Amino acid sequence: MAHRYFLSQLNNTTAIVSGPEAAHLIKVMRIREGDSVILTDKTGYDYTAIAQEITKDEVIFEVVSKEKNPAEPTVNLTVYMALPKSDKLEFITQKMCELGAARLVPFVSEYCVAQKSKKDDNKVTRLQKISDEACKQSGRSAPMVVEKTATFKEILQQLGNYDKVILFYEHGAEKLSETDFTDCSNVAVIIGSEGGFSEKEAALMVEKGAVNIVLGSRILRCETAAVTGVSLVMFRLGQME
């Protein structure tokens, strides 16, 4: 697979790469005039481009073709992830982007050991960088957006915006294989932290329209549940074929 880079500016057939992306091209990849790369605009399109001019801090390309990125999902998937401990959220961020999620919303639930902190903005910047890199590695064009940590009340208010909301809960009453995803293009998945959800929280999410799904008979670690649950939902949505 060709190396992929986010473009900074696009004007007809001229594209400019600057900032850290240009630094990587110039100092690490040692790009030369005439070299071909794939550029992406973060909106779902890829551009085959040839380097025309290399300066100290930017690379100017001639765009020779534009194509819709085939790896971008045709459904919009948001993952609501209750805050896990340590650095698990970095792993989860990477994998959610690879699997095709459009948005990751960390949130604090009753049984979360980790809590929202004053360093949250710095963490979001770090997680977004991980998502950007996972986007390029997996061949996507639009990186998954990582949002600031929300409260449980805030995510409850958002659940009505989706065609389908899947709540993975150890006391779930339904099976994913029996869930109807017909005409669903905007879907949310909710994953608990190490402690899972309280009965009250689960009931409140179901009241807001979430489908209470059991993810097998075994108790999974939160990072395993995130990868497994999102993979299965994307498969049911026809995005893993």
What's the pLDDT score for residue 65?
94
Given a contact cutoff of 8 angstroms between Cβ atoms, the answer to whether 53 and 18 are in contact is no
Domain end marker among 68, 92, 110: 68
Q: Dihedral of the CA atoms 213, 217, 221, 225 (nearest 10)?
A: -40
pTM over 0.85: yes
- At residue 232 the predicted structure's pLDDT band, cuts being 50, 70 and 90, is very high
Residues 131 and 27 placed together within one structural domain of the fold: no
Tell me the pLDDT tens digit for each residue of 61-102. Answer: 999 999 999 999 999 999 999 999 878 999 999 999 999 999
Residues 147 and 31 placed together within one structural domain of the fold: no
CATH code, 186: 3.40.1280.10
Residues sharing a CB contact under 8 Å with residue 143, sequence separation 6 or more, in sequence order: 42, 97, 128, 131, 132, 134, 135
Residues 34 and 140 placed together within one structural domain of the fold: no
Residues 134 and 19 placed together within one structural domain of the fold: no
Residues 111 and 217 placed together within one structural domain of the fold: yes
| Residue range 185-204: mean pLDDT, rounded | 94
Q: Which domain holds residue 24?
A: 4-68
How many domains does the chain divide into? 2
CATH code, 41: 2.40.240.20
Domain end marker among 21, 37, 68: 68
Residue 216 included in any domain: yes
Residue 241 included in any domain: no
User: Residue 158 and residue 57: Cα distance in Å, rounded?
Assistant: 41
Compute φ and ψ for 86, nearest 5 degrees.
Answer: 50, -135
Residues 87 and 59 placed together within one structural domain of the fold: no
User: Residue 122 and residue 96: Cα distance in Å, rounded?
Assistant: 20
**DSSP label at 39?**
E
Q: Is the pLDDT of residue 115 over 80?
A: no
Tell me the pLDDT tens digit for each residue of 27-65. Answer: 999 999 999 999 998 888 999 999 999 999 999 999 999
Residues 59 and 81 placed together within one structural domain of the fold: no
- At residue 217 the predicted structure's pLDDT band, cuts being 50, 70 and 90, is confident
Domain end marker among 68, 84, 111: 68
Indicate the helix (H) or strand (E) that contains 132. helix 120-137
Residue 47 included in any domain: yes
Sign, Cα dihedral of 14, 20, 21, 22: positive
Sign, Cα dihedral of 20, 90, 117, 153: positive
What's the pLDDT score for residue 113?
79
